[in-house]
């Protein structure tokens, strides 16, 4: 392929509010990269919780239908446009995309690409982009967890959860994690004290393990879970909410639910009790294209992603891959992600 050639790509399209089987596999032609762009041949992308929300029209915000899902990707730069360093050609890169990753190739802004260090497998790197950034930034930039503290991770067997517990253990924290009992053995192997997420006495169980409360809770559920999580904090604890997964199957408008959650978290910070609460979004502070904020955001993403890649390379982190599917079987991958009977921990990978 040369930089002047158009490229035929295969994409998975989400046409509307459909079941996973309603995903469409289509082909189209990408033009040569424009100024500031790079053509990336995708090696690995994945299913995230965002796609589950998007197919129901319940992700805040998401583009209008139809669109190509895919929150992040790893691939090789095959062509660059004017003004882009040609040293990128042939390099393996990672990108945080929000949408568009479920494709055999993509055109991306070159400034958004982060080079993957040599020796790191594409699928392993893929597990650490949105999930690794989310886990690392929540743990260290928001909650600022320190050695000797105790944290509670809800959904500890999921894509974000498995990285979060590893990072917390590496930081010297004690970790309590909720998960399906079938995942408890794997979590114990990572140094986690597991609790059945379906236990009606879950809060009491956590209180037994941490009588004075925990230093931080990472909650992806939202809804009623937020109140329980807040009550489980100690006197100076931090609650980090980062999704509203418990509301994913509801049919009412999602924006009021999200705004109510954020309002509650904000109001709690005015209480004179020493606790803190916030909603985390990895895109916060991204700013407008070409703005100073966007430059700062890119620098922060690059710094944190290269750090977690380094932890993976050094053996501190282990990539947790639940399953691999060909891109053409994205529907089956999404069904597995949403299945209550899912048996493996970690990220579900799509291989173009």
| pLDDT computed for residue 268 by the predictor | 98
Q: Are 120 and 317 in contact (CB under 8 A)?
A: no
| Residues 196/202/205/206 CA torsion (nearest 10 deg) | 100
* Strands 174-179 vs 150-153: parallel, antiparallel or unpaired: parallel
**Domain residue ranges of the chain, discontinuous segments joined by +:** 7-128+286-350, 130-279
Sorting pLDDT into bands at 50, 70 and 90, what band is 16?
very high
* Helices (runs of H) and strands (runs of E) counted in the chain: 10, 15
Alpha carbons 96 and 114: distance in angstroms, whole number: 9
Q: Kindly report the CA angle at 331 between 95 and 16, in degrees rounded to 5?
A: 85
Neighbours of 35 (CB within 10 A): 10
Strand, helix or coil for residue 80: strand
**CB-based contact 110:69 (threshold 8 Å):** no
Q: Cβ distance 38 to 339 under 8 Å? A: no
Q: Is the pLDDT of residue 35 over 50?
A: yes
* Residue 131 in tokens: 């999930």
pLDDT band, residue 2 (cuts 50/70/90): very low
Report the C-alpha gap between 334 and 54 in whole angstroms.
Answer: 12
What does the pLDDT average to over 249-268?
Answer: 92
Compute how many other C-beta atoms are within 10 angstroms of the C-beta atom of residue 339. 9
- pLDDT-derived band at 348 (thresholds 50, 70, 90) equals very high
Average pLDDT over residues 270-294: 96
Name the pTM for this structure: 0.94
pLDDT band per the 50, 70, 90 thresholds, residue 307: very high
Give the number of other Cβ atoms within 10 Å of residue 67's Cβ.
16
CA triple 131-23-156, angle to 5 deg: 25
Half-sphere exposure of 53 (CA within 13 A, CB side): 24
Q: How far apart are CA 76 and CA 67, in angstroms?
A: 23
Q: pLDDT digits over 155-173, tens only? A: 999 889 999 999 999 999 9
Q: Is the pLDDT of residue 340 over 90?
A: no
Q: Which CATH superfamily is domain 7-128+286-350 in?
A: Medium-chain alcohol dehydrogenases, catalytic domain (3.90.180.10)
pLDDT of residue 250: 84
Q: 130-279 sits in which CATH class? A: alpha beta
Angle between helices 292-313 and 159-170 (to 10 degrees): 70
pLDDT recorded at residue 85: 96
CB of 297 within 8 A of CB of 282? no
Q: What is the pLDDT of residue 339?
A: 87
The percent of residues above 90 in pLDDT, for the chain, comes to 90
Reported as a single tens digit per residue, the pLDDT across 106-150 is 999 999 999 999 999 999 999 999 999 999 999 999 999 999 999
pLDDT above 70 for 10 = yes
Mean pLDDT of the chain: 95
Model pLDDT, residue 1: 40
Angstrom CA distances, 296 to 35, 97, 283, 303, stand at 21, 17, 12, 11
Which whole number is the average pLDDT over 52-67?
93
Query: What pLDDT is stored for residue 341 in this prediction?
Result: 67
The arithmetic mean of pLDDT across residues 67-81, rounded, is: 98
């Amino acid at each position: 392929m040369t930089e002047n050639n158009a490229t035929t790509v295969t994409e998975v399209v989400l046409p509307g509010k459909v079941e996973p089987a309603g995903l469409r596999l289509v082909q189209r032609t990408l033009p040569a990269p424009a100024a500031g762009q790079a053509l990336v041949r995708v090696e690995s992308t994945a299913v995230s919780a965002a796609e589950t929300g998007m197919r129901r029209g319940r992700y805040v915000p998401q583009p209008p239908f139809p669109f190509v899902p895919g929150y992040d990707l790893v691939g090789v730069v095959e062509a660059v446009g004017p003004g882009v360093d040609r040293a990128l050609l042939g390099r393996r890169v990672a990108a945080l995309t929000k949408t568009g990753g479920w494709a055999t190739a993509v055109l991306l802004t070159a400034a958004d690409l982060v080079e993957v260090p040599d020796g790191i497998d594409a699928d392993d790197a893929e597990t650490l982009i949105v999930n690794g950034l989310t886990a690392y930034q929540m743990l260290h930039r928001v909650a600022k967890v320190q050695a000797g503290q105790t944290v509670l991770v809800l959904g500890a067997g999921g894509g974000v959860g498995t990285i979060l517990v590893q990072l917390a253990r590496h930081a010297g924290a004690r970790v309590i994690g909720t998960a399906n009992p079938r995942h408890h053995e794997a979590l114990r192997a990572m140094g986690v004290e597991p609790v059945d997420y379906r236990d009606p006495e879950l809060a009491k169980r956590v209180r037994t393990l941490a009588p004075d409360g925990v230093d931080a809770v990472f909650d992806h559920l939202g809804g009623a879970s937020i109140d329980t999580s807040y009550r489980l904090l100690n006197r100076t604890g931090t609650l980090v909410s980062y999704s509203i997964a418990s509301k994913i199957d509801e049919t009412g408008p999602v924006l009021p639910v999200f705004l109510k959650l954020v309002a509650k978290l904000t109001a709690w910070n005015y209480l004179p009790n020493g606790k803190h609460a916030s909603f985390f979004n990895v895109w916060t502070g991204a700013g407008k294209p070409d703005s100073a904020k966007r430059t700062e955001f890119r620098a922060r993403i690059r710094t944190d992603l290269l750090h977690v890649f380094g932890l993976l390379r050094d053996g501190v982190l282990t990539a947790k891959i639940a399953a691999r599917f060909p891109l053409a079987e994205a529907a089956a991958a999404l069904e597995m992600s949403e299945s209550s009977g899912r048996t493996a921990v970690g990220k579900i990978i799509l291989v173009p």
